[in-house]
Copies of this chain bind each other. A is one copy, B any other.
Amino acid sequence: MKNLVQDHLSQTFSALADPTRRAILAQLAKGEASVSDIAKPFLKDMSLPGLTKHLKVLEKAGLITKTREKQWRPCKLNGAALKDAANWMEQYRAFWEESFDRLEEYLKTMAPKVKSKGKKNDRKKK
C-alpha cells in the first residue's frame, strides 16, 4: 500500500540483486543473444517462463533492450543503465580504500568513551 513505483536507483540495484540476472548480464556482455540462447545454461534449474520474468526485470530496469528478429528476440546489454548505480557507489570509494588505516587511526585518537551518542541530541543534560 505504499511506494507503488520504485525509484530508478532502487530498480537498478534490485535487478542486480539476483545471481541469475547477473549471470544473464555477464552472458550479454559477450554479445547479443536471443532469449533461448540466454536461457540455455539455466534450463536445468529453471523453466523458460521463469527466465522470461528475469529478462523482464532487467528490461524494466533498462539494463537490457529486447528487439525483434523474425521469431527471435535478440537482447543486448545496455551498460549505460549501470552508470547511475556506479556513480552512487563511487561516493563511497573513500570508505573502502584507505579508510581502514586512516579512519581507524582517527577514531583511536578520540577519547574512547565519547565517540558518538549525542552530537545534536544532547538535550536535557541540564
Contacts and interface: CB of A to CB of B under 8 A. Distances in A.
Contacts of A11: 17
If over half of A's interface residues share one DSSP class (helix, strand or loop), that class is named, otherwise mixed; here it is helix
Q: Kindly report how many copies of this chain are found in the complex they form together.
A: 2
B74 A115 contact: yes
A100 to B, nearest CB: 7
Given A19-B9, A91-B29, A121-B37, A82 B96 contact: yes
Interface residues of A, number: 50
Given A19-B7, A31-B116, A89 B92 contact: no
Contact of A14 (B13, B37, B79, B86): B13
A32 interface: yes
